[in-house]
Structure 1
């Protein structure tokens, strides 16, 4: 049975690869795409999402714009130095113009509608700031029981990328991330940047994708600014496809090896703001330091994967090969 999937996203180069991955996979029923502020402003992220769907000839997929800012504090910074001023290395104009307008309802309303209409629980791939998802849980409490799981690209076990402590998506709205990851309302998988950095693809991988067909060539053409950043971040001619790794897990559960542990999100205004604190102590040790009866919700944190198989999976799917 196809995976029923909604993507909540802030495109973003790696988001573009992630949307295409789902849109081109014949074992996915892509119910909708919702957009959020993040890598660039909301108008650009929404237009970018619609352009990528047009590239994949998926005019059937509705797109709705969501939050333009975080829940509480202003967004600290966008990711223009990484993704370019338009979010796609300054090359968004190379993608086809969307043939379908965005929906006349907001992202949270679309999410609630899609969940209510689905006969089976729906997976949400949340690959931007978690503002829309936190708002959904607050405004539509019954929606949680319609969600199979939320696969979140975000967080860091070691150092961050927006700050020394925090990864970009979580840092963009820590209060929203706190609600989603620690509330215990939904089953969550957290795909941290520690793993997505290890899953980076080489320039040769990109060239192979570009030679596989027009969609692959169009995606490769979006990468110059992004690839230039990751040459500095990784120290080699490669780039991280963070969000595509999370969507791969959403499509194929178990592709990433996870560990169920409590996760906290730092919401102070200090230097650790946005940090994800993953408690990997043995349960017996945790129990000794917690109040009797306290049962903190756990999150399935992705720790490892077969790197070669993951890259091959991404290449096959983005080239349009059948599942």
Structure 2
């Protein structure tokens, strides 16, 4: 199952993870995407668990032999802090998946990222759905890669509320310094944050249909959605499940499905309750701070502020079930 023609060359950097797995299942089954590599980083679980989970998902999806590489085992400064309370002890909902037969490539994630980006005949879209440690190391070690990066669409951050803290989303909170480096990448950035991440929910009827499928990849999508129930303020349906990180991949395939605004964004690096917050400036004019201290240049990011839920749910289901 290879993608040809004008498919979009993409590389996914992930911490698989239930919703990273949903993203991978979608990416390898969409005919408009050419998944050139997958790189792994510590986040939802330890990095060796992420590698194992990633290889297992690709096998279950019937994906081609996509190179998978092990990356950073901890953030740039902070210790590693997993999210096993959300994703289970194995990072995949403890649903009893078999060990993978595939193996990672014999180079590290940064080396694989550099190789695949520079080798691509067309500019690559990077889709990080994890803490941004690998991406920061790549940008600092090999800044020449930016000449062949079309865009970076990252799942991370929040305009309104966080989940790791009241103001910080997990991926950014896990490695704020890496996120700050990403913002200086010098390539177009799209932030697919919690504001849209939490909205895209598959209802219980569809989840049950996926779980009953004879296709292993489709069935896995159903099992994962069942493990990741939607927030009760989004839907009262107890069997509904959010696609999470997969929405960022949907946004690459169908960018018109999200409403974005080009806004200044910075990451709070100070110790304390705001560490890891993505500060998104939605003001129409400068305030007293800029007037008294001078306006500082801040990176501009296409921030997703709204999403067409029905459109993305249909896109996700059609793709995962249609392979």
Say whether 1:61 aligns with 2:66. yes
| Superposition deviation, residue 99 in structure 1 | 3.5
- Is 2:44 the counterpart of 1:39? yes
Structure 1 residue 94 and structure 2 residue 93: aligned? no
- The alpha-carbon deviation at position 250 of structure 1 amounts to 1.8
1:195 matched to which residue of 2? Answer: 196
| Alpha-carbon distance between aligned partners in 2 of 1:287 and 1:202, rounded to the nearest angstrom | 46
Q: Does the Cα contact within 8 Å between 2:225 and 2:243 map onto a contact in 1?
A: no
2:300 aligned to 290, 298, 301, which one?
Answer: 298
Q: Give the secondary-structure state (helix, strand or coil) at the position aligned to 2:92.
A: coil
| CA displacement 1:223-244 (0-9 Å, x = unmatched) | 45433xx456857323322200
Give the alignment partner of residue 14 of structure 1, picking from 1, 19, 22: 19
Question: Alpha carbons of 1:294 and 1:272: their partners in 2 closer, same or farther (altered >3 Å)?
Answer: closer
The 5 Å alignment of 1:1-323 reads 1-75=6-80, 77-91=81-95, 93-95=96-98, 97-181=99-183, 183-214=184-215, 215-227=217-229, 230=230, 236=236, 237=238, 238-282=240-284, 284-285=285-286, 289=290, 294-320=296-322
Structure 1 residues not aligned, in runs of 5+? none
Question: Residue 3 of structure 2 corresponds to which residue in structure 1?
Answer: none
Residue 255 of structure 1: how far off its partner (Å): 2.4
TM-score, scaled relative to structure 1: 0.91
SS of 1:222's equivalent in the other structure is helix
Unaligned runs of 5+ in 2: 1-5
d(CA) in 2 for partners of 1:208 and 1:188? 36
How far the C-alpha of 1:269 sits from its partner, in A, is 1.5
What whole-Å deviation, never above 9, does each CA across 1:185-209 have from its counterpart, x for those lacking one? 2211001111111212222231233
> 3-state DSSP class of the match of 1:262?
strand
Deviation of the 1:222 alpha carbon: 3.3
Q: What's the Cα RMSD here?
A: 2.1
Compared CA separation, residues 82 and 293, structure 1 to 2 (3 A):
closer
Q: Would you say how many aligned residue pairs link Structure 1 and Structure 2? A: 314
Indicate conservation of the 8 Å contact 2:195/2:304, yes or no: no
Q: What is the CA–CA distance in structure 2 between the aligned matches of 1:82 and 1:226, rounded to whole Å?
A: 8
Query: Residue 165 of structure 1: SS of its match in structure 2?
Result: coil
Change (3 A) 1:312 1:224: closer
The 1-side partners of 2:270 and 2:83 are apart by: 22
Change (3 A) 1:296 1:119: same
CA distance in 1, matches of 2:241, 2:226: 10
